[in-house]
A and B are shown apart, each in its own frame.
Chain A
Amino acid sequence: MRNGMGICSVGVSCPGGVGVEALLDTAGWPVEGVPEVGRRGAIRQVAKIDCGSEPFNRWRMTPRLRRASPLSHHLIEAVAQCLEARPGIDRARVGVVGAFFLGALEYSVRFYKGLTDDGRRFASPVLFPETVVNSPLSHVVAELGIGGPVYSQTGDTSCWASALRTAQVWLANGDADHVVVVGAEEFNAHELDGLGAVRWFEGGAVLRLAEGAGAVLLGPQGSDQLARITRVVDGFCYRTRGEAVEAARGCLAAIGGGARLADTASTWIRPVVDGLLGGNTVLPLSAGPRYEAFTASCAWNTILATRSAGPVVVPYWGLSHQIGAAEIMC
């Protein structure tokens, strides 16, 4: 990445609350045991958000969000915090890039369950539009009066790095004055079945799932900014867990430098990372148990890195396709 970007403000919606302070210690996050749907006996620890309760419920009566999925609520809270922290910027010149691994999972499952159980003729015309990947972000820009370009990007967890690059393109080409990059995920119990099927709960580190969103408002580098994103690398692809080792090695070599490496690995890739680093110290970003909320976690880790002294490399372990990383300079 040739031109760095400044982080002007951040926004967080997570099981611990809203705002960056809610990320600092996850020990107090509300956790419940959720059983897998398809296999009896497997109960997983999940940290969820109750969108109907304080402080998450301030959007529930807005016209576009009354029937929207939890994902939309996570998104809008994080994006709104970014914009509210910078009241002077022209929202008509703000772009938004959303990064999603699982996307609108809740309504997609509900819609498909409905047509499976009740018959195709009775598929819900209310739910279907909400299953479309870009619908949640559409609600957000409509409600917040954002007028710049909008992309919803998908991929594995590392699509957060791709979203950062999109922001850089828009800023470099003058398509927007500022860009909000937001990662968000919502939890649905079928997620447990899916991740169980691909053995993400086995071996390595314990996988604790969470949901929520994190957002960063980016602009050209300048003063009065929380931190700078000086480099973004991505595109270190793999197909097997064996290939992931080489991809991780390549990514870390590409980002290089003497910056400390943030501790962000979970599930099956944790042992891979530990093996690669050979016991070298990594920088813990928060206290308490580690939760995985995929693209939201990438956002949270990026936000937490802005509070560290000096340069920090934040790896985005994609978990099923590619690996990326960003260097954050505080």
Chain B
Amino acid sequence: MRWNCNRNQSGCRKTLRFPCLAAVVSFLSVIEDNDVVVTGWGCVTPLGGDAASTWSRLVSGEGVRGSLGCIPVEGCRVGDGAEAVLPELPWIGAKEVGRLSRASRLALPAAREAMAHAGLLDADGRSVRPLIETSVSTTAGGMELGEAFLRGVWGGSEWRGQAARVARYPTHQQIGDLQRHLGFSGPVMIVANACASGANAIGHAADLIRAGMADMVLAGGYEALCELVFCGFDSLQALSPDACRPFDVDRNGLMLGEGAAFLVIERAGAAKARGAVARARVAGYGHTTDVYHITRPEPAGEPLERAMRQALAKAGMEPGGIGHLNAHGTGTPFNDGAEAAAFARVFGDGIDAVRTTSTKAAIGHTLGAAGAIEAVFCMKALETGELPPQINTATPVAGLANALTRPGDRLQKPAVMSVNLGFGGSNAALVFTKS
């Protein structure tokens, strides 16, 4: 089954050649049963413990950066990042909370918020559906427990406690925590495509539904700051010593952050049957692999361009239909240069109308969670019409001089795009439209 078969069969999109008209028709289009829709979302970020508080601060132009207290960074070139305040988990016993990995502490409230938003939780906060498929992303899982385990082995410390560290460290154990504490089970797909993983997890959820292999998927990503990964980026000298300035000619590196986000993604017909509200549509997904270099994107951004065009094609849209672009925008010289080049080719002369923001300047780069968190920001943009302004960027690169989102800018078209790039050459693009 092709992504846009219903749309193309109806003829409402494939013949549209005028971007503004395409946008209007998209806005007016009716959801069909085989469309893939979003019925709920939630997130935890350094800006807040839920989607509403995060969004409120994000659109007002706030950002987070400070000395990290959750991991040891003494000796690193850079010691700052964007640390999240771990939400309280009053529905879980204190003893169990103490056993959870930091990643699970972030993922659990985000997933719970998404499921509640989608009407999937009963009065006790347990899933009303015993089986829910999950499509999830992370790069480090419960890495801090793995680090503690290794330090214990090398330090010859007591063996006591090591079993719990091993048992809670792997990525699938955080999904086990979600299943146990939210009351569901079902197939699990964990993708680890570096920093594009979050977008992959959401795109895969939509793919599962398009293929008729699932009716509902809890999709998202999570990432907790950890010593190994922080020191890794520090060793690459990829961390900015002062601020993350996406698409600025003077950008000098990224800021690491942490967080989690989940979306409930469903086949529209199934959502309608259970009385759920279709809040947005997952209209297109593209993903490609860049084999140029293990950590550096191809400078012209051609693989990213292909991913963006794939997503647009699957959505049956022209580039001019996109009103907002949540860019990857890490603030590193290589990434932002390749991205800007890809954006220029995809959007051409219309790029100034695509209000573009990298929210990593505000919450840091959350790696495996980034694509999922940014998808939630896209949901909020579609829901409210507000857009997060680009902060920290004083002198934009030439191609994006008039495209970066300014305070007060509002969404003018009912479609948004989110893109992510990652180590190993992972590229992913998602198109969301209003329902």
Please list the residues of chain A having a beta carbon within 8 angstroms of any beta carbon in chain B.
Answer: 1-2, 37-39, 64, 100-101, 103, 108-109, 111-113, 115-116, 119-121, 123-125, 128-135, 137-139, 141-142, 146-147, 149-156, 159, 162, 165-166, 168-170, 172-175, 190, 193-195, 197-199, 234-237, 239, 320-322
Chain A residues whose C-beta falls within 8 Å of the C-beta of B179 in the assembled complex: 237
Chain B residues whose C-beta falls within 8 Å of the C-beta of A141 in the assembled complex: 289, 291, 425
Chain B residues whose C-beta falls within 8 Å of the C-beta of A234 in the assembled complex: 187-188
Task: Please tell me if the beta carbons of A155 and B213 are within 8 angstroms of each other in the complex.
Answer: no
Task: Please tell me if the beta carbons of A172 and B211 are within 8 angstroms of each other in the complex.
Answer: yes
| Residue B212 lies at the interface, judged by CB distance under 8 Å to chain A | yes
Chain B residues whose C-beta falls within 8 Å of the C-beta of A154 in the assembled complex: 141, 170-172, 190-192
Task: Please tell me if the beta carbons of B236 and A128 are within 8 angstroms of each other in the complex.
Answer: yes
List 16 additional contacts besides A113-B154, A172-B211; criterion CB under 8 Å.
A116-B150, A134-B192, A134-B423, A135-B294, A141-B425, A152-B193, A154-B141, A154-B170, A165-B213, A173-B2, A173-B210, A190-B150, A197-B159, A237-B186, A321-B173, A322-B188
Task: Please tell me if the beta carbons of B150 and A235 are within 8 angstroms of each other in the complex.
Answer: no
Chain A residues whose C-beta falls within 8 Å of the C-beta of B227 in the assembled complex: 112, 115, 120
Task: Please tell me if the beta carbons of A138 and B131 are within 8 angstroms of each other in the complex.
Answer: no
Chain B residues whose C-beta falls within 8 Å of the C-beta of A108 in the assembled complex: 228
Task: Please tell me if the beta carbons of A320 and B424 are within 8 angstroms of each other in the complex.
Answer: no
Give the distance in Å from the alpha carbon of A295 to the alpha carbon of B209 in the complex: 26
Chain A residues whose C-beta falls within 8 Å of the C-beta of B434 in the assembled complex: none
Chain B residues whose C-beta falls within 8 Å of the C-beta of A320 in the assembled complex: 167, 170, 172-173
How near does chain A come to B107, taking the closest CB pair, in angstroms? 15
| Residue B235 lies at the interface, judged by CB distance under 8 Å to chain A | yes
Chain B residues whose C-beta falls within 8 Å of the C-beta of A156 in the assembled complex: 170, 172
Task: Please tell me if the beta carbons of B232 and A131 are within 8 angstroms of each other in the complex.
Answer: yes
Task: Please tell me if the beta carbons of B231 and A115 are within 8 angstroms of each other in the complex.
Answer: yes
Q: Which residues of B64-80 have CB atoms within 8 Å of chain A's CB atoms?
A: 72-77
Given contacts A2-B212, A111-B228, contact A125 B149 (CB under 8 A): no
Given contacts A116-B151, A169-B204, A235-B187, contact A111 B192 (CB under 8 A): no
Task: Please tell me if the beta carbons of A37 and B153 are within 8 angstroms of each other in the complex.
Answer: yes
Give the distance in Å from the alpha carbon of A146 to the alpha carbon of B291 in the complex: 9
| Residue B422 lies at the interface, judged by CB distance under 8 Å to chain A | yes
| Residue B94 lies at the interface, judged by CB distance under 8 Å to chain A | no
Given contacts A142-B291, A162-B187, A173-B207, contact A121 B193 (CB under 8 A): no
Residue of A nearest to B292 (CB): A142
Of the residues B153, B200, B210, B426, contact of A190 by C-beta under 8 Å = B153
Task: Please tell me if the beta carbons of B208 and A134 are within 8 angstroms of each other in the complex.
Answer: no
Chain A residues whose C-beta falls within 8 Å of the C-beta of B150 in the assembled complex: 109, 112-113, 116, 190
| Residue B295 lies at the interface, judged by CB distance under 8 Å to chain A | yes
| Residue B156 lies at the interface, judged by CB distance under 8 Å to chain A | yes
